[in-house]
Structure 1
């Protein structure tokens, strides 16, 4: 019985600390708490100093507490971006004030204010859950709010919202996180043709994501482009798992042909053609990686390698080789240079190496080869 109780207690403890949002960690939540502490305190203090609030209005309106939860705990949410916070709160407050002015039945006014606020935010692409509370506050905020009239939407609501966003922007920049959140742009074909880029030609397509969202018939708090990016990363992680996290050191070429940074482009071209290569690592005087060069760069007309080379795409010997797939299928990268901690070149992984690994994995996993079967 005691072991059963321990098991149940462990499960309850795991459930208690299991994050409700995907990707949330204890560190992220601690930083969110710190951000909310700093953001709300400073927003209230600065608002009070700027406006004085002689009319008896609060330092900060209650909906800003909910805005802080979104801004600091889920900053990548479409609902937590600057325009939804500023526009959603302010527009909703204006809606609430308007409803309070024309509708004098309290029960009807509170419902109408929130409903119209949702509609207004949807039309202005500023949907922000705390906006509903801002509309409600404008209706039931008491004599001070009623006396302030439409100016309540400007001070304190707009002022509070602008200050909170500014503080949130500074906080996220200090911790190295991009805010406002911008989904990664869709990959494009670097060859200037109408074909999708290589990774987008296999697996699911953007229209599949749209069809799935339509079939589920639900609204998710995530940008549609982020859904696409997440699913492609899931595919890559699944591929990495099935290949057993083979390290770059297991497949890389070790006898690497390289060229010095002070060499002439003609020498680099001769090496590329003689060895039938697409990319040469460029080494500095100490033998460390300085860049990469191929026939495309040489065709630019420069005389010396140092003037034609580009930044090399790199990885370390212990990195999973499957993690190089996005780089090697971007349409421009032909090889990834594997470097040691001291900057010296350990090897090279090319598109051919990736193809060989995937082909070998497919053979080993086929039912007739004694691999994994369903």
Structure 2
């Protein structure tokens, strides 16, 4: 039986929702992230003005910093993952647009036409040079209506102060984001590849949606999205994985791992490791140090290119904790390179191992218990 909440509680909730002081308007935006962005803008703009003044002197007729840099700071510090906030977009977009503005102001004498033409051509040129940056429109406009100081600077204006301001701001942004533990410049998601060097698409892309589906969906919206296609692909696949975790997150690594783990010590030879792999018909061996802690793994792939009398070619191990959701291993065990995930305790000692076979058996059992609709409902054909 579902009990409806009291009417006054519902009314109270509705009233509070209307007076929230902060409500994220972008995906991933939180109050903490916005406060970090405010701090970054404060530091970035102040230091940009100080550094520009140091290099350009205190000429009263030469602006130390121009207004479009404030708009650039909003993108750089508030939405650093946006394609519009990347270094080339900021430096190239502002500088190129300022050149466009100066050129238009030189050739077109009618101010009403010049201001519109400058912004329109700036959008075109930024698009052609893959440096689209909204404040670039303001930079182009400033070059036309900036007054006597801009007119005297002429074609130096796009470089000093526009280019100098933009470059300093980006450098400060890189340092600030690194110190704040954030990634900048943004690195786009790497598309999955077939590691077996055949014409087949990667296993994870053979079912479910593909890049053509993403392109078709974007085209159907008739909108320009402020996210790259690669990042959108990664986001959608993460959504699929979260849906699967929600449905099958009760199974942990401890539930399905093999506990009698065949291991090898770091001092063993390649021949000894190969013999163990063949004897137990497995593909991956955890490699332990003298104290029994995990150093990495070795498999037939590494041993095939190694002299059997040589030392072990140890590779970094894919690891998990016993309480981690077992379904969460799907991306790693289907990428075509990892054949097993080593389960370790708090002291980095091996307590189990999960192979592709272990995970496949788990998924097959879930399917037989719930049926295709129970496992795939809301998830599509993502496995």
Alpha carbons 2:287, 2:314 under 8 Å: kept: yes
1:141 aligns with 2:159: no
Distance 1:137 1:353 in 2: 64
Matching residue of 1:204: 209
1:200-244 Cα distance to aligned partner (Å, 9 max, x none): 112111111111111111100111111111111111111211213
TM-score (norm 2): 0.91
Q: Is the 8 Å Cα contact of residues 55 and 144 (structure 1) preserved in structure 2?
A: no
Give the 3 Å change call, closer, same or farther, for CA 323–118 of structure 1 in structure 2.
Answer: same
What does residue 245 of structure 2 align with? 240
- Could you give the per-residue CA deviations for residues 105-129 of structure 1, whole angstroms, max 9, x where no partner exists? 3322221211111111111111100
Q: Give distance in 2, aligned partners of 1:300 and 1:116.
A: 57
Distance in 1 separating the partners of 2:305 and 2:107: 70
Change (3 A) 1:71 1:290: same
Residues in 1 aligned to 2:147 and 2:372: alpha-carbon distance in whole angstroms: 73
Partner of 1:265: 270
Deviation at residue 325 of structure 1 after TM alignment: 1.2
Instruction: Tell me by how many angstroms 1:95 deviates.
Output: 1.5
Q: Do the aligned partners of 2:265 and 2:289 also contact (CA within 8 Å) in 1? A: yes
Which residue of 2 is the match for residue 10 of structure 1? 16
Distance 1:272 1:172 in 2: 45
Deviations 1:18-59 (A, max 9, x none): 211111222221211111111110000111111125252322
Unmatched 5+ residue regions in structure 1?
none
Q: How many residues align?
A: 372
Rate the CA distance shift 1:338–1:55 in 2: closer, same or farther, 3 A.
same
Q: For the aligned residues, what is the CA RMSD?
A: 2.2
**Once structures 1 and 2 are overlaid, which stretch shifts more, 270-279 or 158-167?**
270-279
Aligned to 2:116: 111
Structure 2: gaps spanning 5 or more residues: 1-6, 379-383
Partner of 1:152: 157
Q: What's the CA shift string for 1:177-217, capped at 9, x where partnerless?
A: 33222212212111111111111112111111111111111
1:264 Cα offset (Å): 2.7
- Find out whether 1:219 has 2:235 as its counterpart: no
**1:160-182 per-position Cα deviation (integer Å, ceiling 9, x unaligned):** 11111111111122233332222
Q: Provide the rounded CA distance (Å) in 1 between the counterparts of 2:375 and 2:285.
A: 37
- Local SS of the residue matching 2:157: helix
Indicate conservation of the 8 Å contact 1:365/1:372, yes or no: no
- The farther-off stretch of 318-327 and 50-59 is 50-59
1:299 aligns with 2:304: yes
Return the offset for 1:296. 2.1
Change (3 A) 1:13 1:257: farther
The 8 Å contact of residues 261 and 305 in structure 1, kept in 2 or not, is answered as no
1:161-180 superposed matches below 5 A: 161-180=166-185
* Mapped partners of 1:342, 1:336: distance in 2: 17
Distance 2:217 2:100 in 1: 35
* Match among 322, 338, 345 for residue 340 of structure 1: 345
Q: Name 2:363's counterpart in structure 1.
A: 358
Looking at structure 1, the residues matched to 328 and 136 of structure 2 have their Cα atoms a distance apart, in angstroms, of: 42
SS at structure 1 position matched to 2:286: strand
Counterpart Cα distance in 2 of 1:198 and 1:303: 32
Tell whether the 8 Å contact from 1:262 to 1:306 is kept in structure 2 after alignment: yes
Distance 1:238 1:110, change over 3 A: same
1:7 positional shift: 1.7
